Structure 1
Amino acid sequence: MEQSVKPASSLPLNPHIAALPPYNAGMNIAMARALSGRHDIARLASNENPEGCSPAVMAALASSSFEPWRYADPACAALRSALGEKLAVDPVLIVAGNGSEEMIAAIARAVLVPGASVVTVPSFGLHEIEPLAAGADVIKIAMTPEMGFDLAALEIAITAGPRIVFISSPWNPVGPGLDHPSLQRLIAAVRPGTLLVLDEAYFEFADPGAPDGIEALRDSGIDHVVLRTFSKAYGLAGLRVGYAVCSGLELARVIAAAKTPFNVNAAAQTAAIAALADESWRKASAGRIRTERVRTAAALAGLGFGVAQSQTNFLFFDCKSDSSSLAAGLLKQGIIVKAWREAGYEQYLRATIGLPADNDRLITALQGLAAR
C-alpha cells in the first residue's frame, strides 16, 4: 500500500539549510541506461579516472590485513604519516576527510559565523553551499569572457577582508589553473583575519611546472588550507578520501574537531596508502589523460565550440545555446556529460576526459549534433 504524502510540517527549520540550492551531482549509470535505452554508456560527467585505480589498491583491499569488521583509525595516523612524508609536511598539519567535500564543510563549520562573508568564483557547488549553510554571505566573482580568472576583481574582493576565500586551481568546472604570478598576486591580497582555501582537487592533472599550492603557501605567512583528494587522479572516487593541509596547528585542530569521528573508513584509508605507494601508476595515468585532453580540446575547437584552457581531466566549453538540450542529445547516444545550470552559465557544458574510444564517441556525437 502506498503511503500518502504528509502535509508540510510546522516544525521550525534552520533557514540557512532550508534555503540551500541543490547540489548538481550528475547522473548515475543506471538512470542513463534507462533514459537512453543503451547499455554502452560513456561516463563523461563526474571527472572520474577512466583508467580506474592502481592494481596495488585492489591488492591491498583483497589482503587479509584489511579487516572491515574493525573500526578504522579515527586519527588516520598511517595515512597522514604517508602524506606528510610525500608532501614534506608535518602530519599534525594534515586533516583527512571523507572526500575533500567533508573538509570544505568542516572548514566552514570551524571558521564561519552567521553574517560572515566568503569570496569565491562560480565553482564546485560546495564552495557556496557550505558557507550558506553556516549563515555566511557568499560573493562570487564571475569568470572573464575568455573563461579565465578575473584577477583584478578577485584582488579587490580579497583585500576587503572576507572571512574565507575559496579558490579552486585548477578550476572546476572551467579548467584553467593559476600560474605562479597570478597565485602570488592573490596570496599578497590576503589580509589578517582571512583564511585562503586553495582547492587543488585536480592538481595532479596540471601541466609540468604548474604551481604547487602547498609549496607556494608554505612560507607565505597567511592563514591557509590546501585541499586535495584521492578521488580524481588516484581513481578512488567511490571510497571518498581527501585531505586538508593547514598552515598552523590550531587551525588543523579546529578543522579536525568540526568533522565526525571515524570519518574516513578503513577501506578508504587502506586504499589511499596503497595508492600513494604507487606514484608511477598515477603519473603514467595522468600523462595519458593530459594527452587525450589536448587531442579532444583541439577536436571540439575544430567543431566551433569555445573551449576553455584546461589543467584538469575535463573540458568546459561554450555550446552557444542551451547546454541542457545538447546534453540530452548526447544522452540519447549513451554519453553522459554535465550541463552547467548556474545562473549565467546555462550555455556551458563540462565533459570528462575518458578513454580514447569514449572521447572519440563524444567528438563524433557532437559533430553530428552540431550539423543539425
Structure 2
Amino acid sequence: MSVNESARPGIVPNPHISALPIYNAGMNIRLARQLSGHDDIAALASNENPNGCSPKVMEAMASSAFNPSRYSDPACTELRNALSRLLDLPPGQIVVGNGSEEMVAAISRAFLVQGSSALTVTPSFGLHEIEPLAAGARVTKVPMTSDMGFDIPALEAALATGPALFFLPSPSNPVGAALTRGELDRLVAATRPQTLFVLDEAYFEYMEEGQADGMALVRSGNFPSIVLRTFSKAYGLAGLRVGYATCSNPEIARIVAAAKPPFNVNAAAQVAAVAALADQQWMKQSVERTKTERARLARGLDELGVFTASSQTNFLFFRTTLPSEHAAKALLADGIIVKPWREAGYENWVRVTIGTPKQNDRVLASLNHILNGAS
C-alpha cells in the first residue's frame, strides 16, 4: 500500500522561504533556440555586455594566476586591494560577493530579523524584495512616478517610519532612472538613525555626469550606508558572478562579511575581476558604445510610438499596447529574448538590453511588425 505523501509526518519548510515569489530571470539562449527555431538569438533579457569582456581577462584566466585545483582566497585580498586603490577606500570597508546579489542576501541576513521592515521601490529589482522577505521582514514598495522617476516625497514619507533597511537601485533596475545629487541629499536627510541605506549602483558606469555618486556617502563615514557595485555589466563578467559592497565603516563590513559563506567568490572570478579593473580603457570604450546605441534605440522606439522611460543604464524599459508576456513571446518568435515585467501594475512593460547595432535593428524591425502590423 502506498503512503499518502500529504499524510506523512516529516519536514516543515521555513514559511518565509516557501512563500517567496519566483525571481524573474531571463531566458537562456539554448531554450530560446528550441522555442523560436532560430539559431541566431539576440539575448537581450539579462543586461549582459554585448562587447564581451576585456582581452586581459581571458589572458589572465589562461595564465598561471588561475589554478582550479586550489581553493580561492576567502578574503579576496588582491581584489579588495585593487578596488581600494580605484575607489580610494580602505580594503577593510569592502566585501566581495558571488555577484552583488549575494551581497543583497548577506545584508538582509545581517540586518533584518522576523518582523522588521524593509523599504524599496516598484517596479523593483526582484531580490530587493525577495531577500528581505526570506529574512522574515515586511517589505514596503514605493511606486515610481507616472513618468518613471523616483517619487522623492513618497520615499521621504516612507523613510520617516524608520525601516531597518532601505534598498534603492540608482540607476534603477528595471526603469533606468538615476538619482540627482539633490534627490540623494533629500533621501539621506529623511533617513532615520535606525535605517541602513543601501544604494545599489550595479549600473553606475553607464550614468551621465552630474548624477548622484553614492561612494561619497561611504567615504564620509558619517552616514550608515552601503553602496553595491558589480562586474557583471560594464566589465562583462556576468558568467563569473562577482560584485562587491562598499561600507561606510569597517564594523558594517565585518557584519556583512560574517553573513556570507567562506570561499564564496571562486578563483576564476577573482583573477578575472582583478584583470578587468586593470583595463579601465576597455571598459570605458565599451560603455560609450553602449550609450551611443542606447540613444539610437530610444529614438527608434519613440518613432514607433512606444513610451520609453529615460535610462542611464545598459537597457531600456518601455510600455507596449500588448501584455508584456505577449510582446515577449512575439519577439521570441523572431529570435529575440527580452524580459517581460510581471509586477502588479507594470504588466505591459518590457525591459530590453542594449545589444549590438545589428541586434538593436532587429528589435526595432520586430516591434514595428508586432505593434504596427508592418510587413
Q: Same fold, TM exceeding 0.5? A: yes
For 2:241 and 2:76, how far apart are their aligned partners in 1?
A: 14
Q: Which residue of 1 aligns with 2:137?
A: 136
Counterparts of residues 170-209 of structure 1 (less than 5 Å):
170-209=171-210
Taking only the aligned residue pairs, the percentage that are identical comes to 60
- Please give the secondary structure, in 2, of the residue aligned with 1:243: strand
Q: Which residue of 1 aligns with 2:28?
A: 28
Q: Which residue of 2 aligns with 1:87?
A: 87
1:118 aligns with 2:118: yes
Give the conservation status (yes or no) of the 8 Å contact 1:82–1:273. Answer: yes
Point out the more displaced range, 30-39 or 63-72.
Answer: 63-72
Q: Which residue of 1 aligns with 2:216?
A: 215
For 2:272 and 2:350, how far apart are their aligned partners in 1?
A: 32
Q: Which residue of 2 aligns with 1:317?
A: 318
Give the conservation status (yes or no) of the 8 Å contact 1:190–1:222. Answer: no
Q: Which residue of 2 aligns with 1:331?
A: 332
CA offsets per residue over residues 221-272 of structure 1, 9 Å max, x none? 2210000000000000000000000011111101000000000000000000
Q: Which residue of 1 aligns with 2:71?
A: 71
Query: What is the letter of the counterpart of residue 110 of structure 2?
Result: A
CA offsets per residue over residues 175-201 of structure 1, 9 Å max, x none? 010011111111111111110000000
Give the conservation status (yes or no) of the 8 Å contact 2:321–2:371. Answer: no
Q: Which residue of 2 aligns with 1:285?
A: 286
CA offsets per residue over residues 312-343 of structure 1, 9 Å max, x none? 00000111331110110000000000000111
* Offset, 1:207: 1.2
Q: Which residue of 1 aligns with 2:37?
A: 37
1:257 aligns with 2:258: yes
- With structure 1 as the length reference, what TM-score do the two structures score? 0.97
Query: What is the letter of the counterpart of residue 30 of structure 1?
Result: R
Give the conservation status (yes or no) of the 8 Å contact 2:65–2:271. Answer: no
CA offsets per residue over residues 195-228 of structure 1, 9 Å max, x none? 0000000000111332211024432722100000
For 1:244 and 1:217, how far apart are their aligned partners in 2?
A: 10
Q: CA RMSD in A?
A: 1.4
- Please give the secondary structure, in 2, of the residue aligned with 1:139: strand
For 2:335 and 2:48, how far apart are their aligned partners in 1?
A: 17
Query: What is the letter of the counterpart of residue 165 of structure 1?
Result: F
For 2:369 and 2:69, how far apart are their aligned partners in 1?
A: 52
* Offset, 1:159: 1.8
For 1:299 and 1:229, how far apart are their aligned partners in 2?
A: 29
Query: What is the letter of the counterpart of residue 179 of structure 1?
Result: T
For 1:57 and 1:325, how far apart are their aligned partners in 2?
A: 39
Q: Which residue of 1 aligns with 2:46?
A: 46
Give the conservation status (yes or no) of the 8 Å contact 2:324–2:348. Answer: yes
For 1:276 and 1:5, how far apart are their aligned partners in 2?
A: 58
Query: Unpaired runs of 5+ in structure 1?
Result: none
Give the conservation status (yes or no) of the 8 Å contact 1:338–1:351. Answer: yes
Q: Which residue of 2 aligns with 1:106?
A: 106
Give the conservation status (yes or no) of the 8 Å contact 1:227–1:242. Answer: yes
1:308 aligns with 2:320: no
* Offset, 1:65: 2.5
* Offset, 1:357: 0.4
Give the conservation status (yes or no) of the 8 Å contact 2:171–2:179. Answer: yes
Query: What is the letter of the counterpart of residue 43 of structure 1?
Result: A
1:158 aligns with 2:153: no
Say if 1:217 and 1:94 are closer, same or farther in 2 by CA, change over 3 A. Answer: closer
For 1:321 and 1:29, how far apart are their aligned partners in 2?
A: 24
Say if 1:256 and 1:6 are closer, same or farther in 2 by CA, change over 3 A. Answer: farther
Say if 1:6 and 1:238 are closer, same or farther in 2 by CA, change over 3 A. Answer: farther
For 2:162 and 2:34, how far apart are their aligned partners in 1?
A: 49
For 2:26 and 2:253, how far apart are their aligned partners in 1?
A: 32
- Please give the secondary structure, in 2, of the residue aligned with 1:238: helix
For 2:281 and 2:18, how far apart are their aligned partners in 1?
A: 46
Point out the more displaced range, 356-365 or 5-14.
Answer: 5-14
Give the conservation status (yes or no) of the 8 Å contact 1:224–1:246. Answer: yes
* Offset, 1:77: 0.5
1:238 aligns with 2:264: no
